[in-house]
Every structure is written in C-alpha cells, then in structure tokens.
Chain A
C-alpha cells in the first residue's frame, strides 16, 4: 500500500497526523505529508484507510497493490 497527500487539497486539518502519526507528519505550517516514500506496512493499512476516511478535504490518495 502506498499513501500520498495531495498538497494542493490539504488545508491542514491534521486529522491524518492525529490518527496515524506513523504514516503522516506535518510541516511548520501544519500541512500534512506522507513519511518516507509513502509505503505503508500491512499492520498499518487500517490506520491509513482511517486517515483517508477522516480527511475533510479528500486530500489522501491510497494505492493498494
């Protein structure tokens, strides 16, 4: 699984960083980005999906292989 935060859509609600800090981080302005290359280990798949379904701006993309 691969996650990506669309920086154009992200408005800094910080829901993903709250719910899944193992996968997402925020910059000094509070805008989110995925850690590393966005690869999510299997044990964190549910957390990644939860972050996606709580993003008010629909800014999180998930690619499942």
Chain B
C-alpha cells in the first residue's frame, strides 16, 4: 500500500489529488485545463488512480459495468484488494454492488424513493425548514450551512430510518469520518472505521427495531426478503450506512451551494425572488453547475479510456461535476444560467447507479430554497473569503456567512 505523499500538487495531469487545497477551493479551472490536454489524468497517490474530465469519458465509465466495478466508491489510502470486500454485495448495497446482484438490491429500495413516495414527505420537510428559519428570526447575520442547510437532510433521513432525532451529532461525526478524512493515513482510517462505533450504533438501532417494529425504513429492511430469504445482516447494516452517508452531506451541499450562489449574484437572487415559478429550472442549473458528488470505481478488467490503458485494480475517480462543466455538451458551461432550458446534467450520475435518493434530494432542495427565498428574499454572503468547502468526493460549502438585508 502506497501512502500519499504529503504536500501540494504541482501538475494535476500527473499527480492529481482531490483533497488538495487548490481543488477544494475551486476545482473548475483544474478540470478545464485537463480537458484541453489529457483528457484522462493520473496520480500515484492513493495507490494509483485515474481521472476522466470530459462528459464523454465520465459517461463511458458510468455505463461500463463490465470493466469498472463499484465495490469501492470512496477513494482513500485504504485500497481494497480483490478479496477484501464481500462481492457481489459490497459494503453498502446497492451503491457498492455490481450486476446482477445490484438490480435486486436496488429494486428493493426503489419504491421507498419513488417520486410518489417522496411527495408524502414534503409537508414534514417544509415544516422542518420553517422551524429552522423561525429559529433565525430577528438575526441580521446567520450561517446558511450550519444554521439551515445542514439540518434539513439530516433530520429527514433520521426520520426515514426511525432513529432518535437527538442522535444528529453522532450522524454528523460518522459522515465526516467516512467522507472527509480520506486523506488520513491508512492506519488512522482503519482505526477509525474498525473501532466499531458505527457498527455498535447501528446494531443498537436494529435491536430496538426488532423488539419494536414500526413503519420506517429500518423495520422495512429487517422484514424485506430477496429470493424468499431475509436480507443478510451485513446487507441490512450496509444499506443503513449507505442511507446515512449518501443522503445527508450530498443534499446539504446542494442546498448550501445554491444559497451561496444566490448570495453572491444579486441579479439571479432578485429574479428568483420575483419569479418563484422559475425555481424548478434554476435548481437544476445549480445542480449542474455545483454538482456535489464525485463517485469512484475500480478497474475490473484492463481497458482503454480516451487513449489511456487502465489496469485491473486501479482506482478511478468519476467526477460528474466535471462532466457537467464540459463545454462540448453544455454551451457556456462555466456560466450559471438560471433559466437554462436544455439541461441533461449528470449531477445524480448516469446509468444503473443513478442516485437512488434523487427524488428525495430534489424535493428537499426545492422546498429548502423556496422556504428560504420566501423568508429572506434579500440577503448576501457577508464575507466571501470566510466560506469554506468540504474536501473529498462530496463538495459543498460548510460555512456560508449570510447578512440579511432589510
């Protein structure tokens, strides 16, 4: 196992690092530069990884489940060997599953995340947003990330899983451990993951649900069957981890990036305040321009990609946010056009792993933005330099100081 060399990246074409401060601060010029001269970058960091940056390259990988496996979707210094992960389920099914198991595991969850099932959660989400805004009433300064965006998906997912709302802080810590500490050394990361805290927490929730079944996703998973048999305990635990990890940081990032943009672009903010019916279109443009999620794959079989030869066992970073900025597909790709009509963006991925929670995320984003704009149509980012961004494969603002204009 190769430890990551500490230190800043010189050339992203040959030594990229998605946790480098330059990437974390503003990855778009880096991808634009690579698109012109690579277009598949490589790094020896993390034990060796590739990076396509064109829409064509990203799509080619997303659609090719023969040469690319999903069994490890977060690149870190702990690179799994061929026998380290429970194929075909993976650690967090179905996101870490490959065909044909993937389709079965996914089909089980799809009804709970269909547009019509998600619509039932809208009134509760709207009330949650109003309560958060009520708590900021009367203040001239607030933080759109920590006072607002962060709490919305967290509370919604905790509610869907049927966990105690007061456990929100425990959730936040787990998520940080998995998604934002990827550049910790292998030893640190293994120690964090293997100290058993996540497993112990989830086991306690499972025991409670077994003793007191109720109408939530945890009880659903515990009673669900595949091929006439109950799900394996590691399948249930893995899916619960997936819902905790994938459903929170991501949506929090999308809500935060949208408010951040509006707080820096008064012309867009005023237009949206005056034309609330534009929100569904504007929201898709925010998802395109500031897509939070970069996935990862491992090469399952040697394969050519845009002129490079990728070898079995190599990591590959799959940046949907870079695909969304490709000028070959999106005219004026680096400009946010809030009434962009044609928008085939890939913020929720492409192919069989399309984000399972995309209907939930879209509902949360739409409700969060409409409630924010109704309450605070006049606001600005008070200190743009104080905005901080998360490092790793989920990108979003973690501090957004806002001044309410009155």
* Total number of residue pairs linking A and B with CB closer than 8 Å: 56
Output the least CB separation between B333 and chain A (Å).
Answer: 15
Flag if A50 contacts B341 (CB, 8 Å). Answer: yes
B115 contacts the other chain (Cβ, under 8 Å)?
A: yes
Supposing A18-B280, A26-B114, A30-B113 touch, asked if A13 and B342 sit within 8 A by C-beta, the answer is no
Check A13–B114 contact: CB distance below 8 A.
no
Minimum CB–CB distance for B1 against chain A, Å:
35
CB contacts (< 8 Å) of A13 on chain B: these are: 348, 354, 358
The distance from the CB of A1 to the nearest CB of chain B, in whole angstroms, is 18
Q: Which residues of A contact B351 (CB under 8 A)?
A: 11, 57
Q: A52 to B378, alpha carbons, bound, how many Å?
A: 35
List residues of chain B with CB within 8 A of the CB of A58. Answer: 344
Q: A residues touching B (Cβ–Cβ < 8 Å)?
A: 11-14, 17-18, 26-30, 50, 53-58
B residues adjacent to A (C-beta < 8 A): 107, 110-111, 113-116, 280, 284, 341-346, 348, 350-352, 354, 358-359, 362
User: Do residues A54 and B107 form an inter-chain contact, with CB atoms below 8 A?
Assistant: no
CA A13 to CA B351, docked complex, whole Å = 10
Cα(A42)–Cα(B359), bound, Å: 29
Given contacts A11-B351, A11-B354, contact A26 B344 (CB under 8 A): no
Not counting A12-B358, A13-B348, A18-B362, a sample of 5 additional A-B residue pairs whose C-beta atoms are within 8 angstroms of each other reads A14-B115, A28-B110, A28-B111, A29-B110, A57-B351
Across the interface, do A53 and B111 meet the contact criterion of CB distance under 8 Å? no
B60 to chain A, nearest CB (A): 14
Give 7 closest A-B pairs by Cβ, nearest first. Answer: A53-B342, A30-B114, A11-B354, A29-B110, A56-B344, A28-B111, A14-B115
Contacts A/B (CB < 8 Å), 17 sampled: A11-B354, A12-B110, A12-B354, A14-B359, A18-B280, A26-B114, A28-B110, A29-B110, A30-B110, A30-B111, A30-B114, A50-B341, A50-B342, A53-B344, A54-B284, A56-B346, A58-B344
Q: Which residues of A lie under 8 Å from residue B350 when comparing CB positions? A: 11, 56-57
Check A14/B116 contact, CB under 8 A, given A29-B111, A53-B342, A56-B345: no
- What are the residues of chain A within 8 A of B116 when measuring CB–CB? 26
| Alpha-carbon separation in the docked complex, A12 to B354 (Å) | 8
Scoring A13, A50, A53 by chain B CB atoms within 10 A of each residue's CB, the highest score goes to: A13
Instruction: Determine the distance from Cα of A13 to Cα of B358 in the docked complex, in whole angstroms.
Output: 7
Q: How far is the CB of A38 from chain B (nearest CB, A)?
A: 20
Provide the bound-state CA to CA distance between A58 and B107, in Å: 22
User: Judging by beta carbons under 8 Å apart, are A26 and B115 in contact?
Assistant: yes
CA distance A63 to B114 in the complex (A): 28
Q: How far is the CA of A58 from the CA of B350 in the complex (A)?
A: 10
Q: Which of chain A's residues have a CB closer than 8 A to the CB of B342?
A: 50, 53-54
Q: Once bound together, how far apart are the Cα atoms of A28 and B116, in whole Å?
A: 8
Bound-complex Cα distance A3 to B111 (A): 25
Distance A20 CA – B375 CA, assembled complex (angstroms):
29
Residue in contact with A29 in the complex, picked from B114, B284, B341, B358, CB distance below 8 Å: B114
With a CB–CB cut-off of 8 A, which chain B residues contact A50?
341-342
Q: How far is the CA of A30 from the CA of B118 in the complex (A)?
A: 11
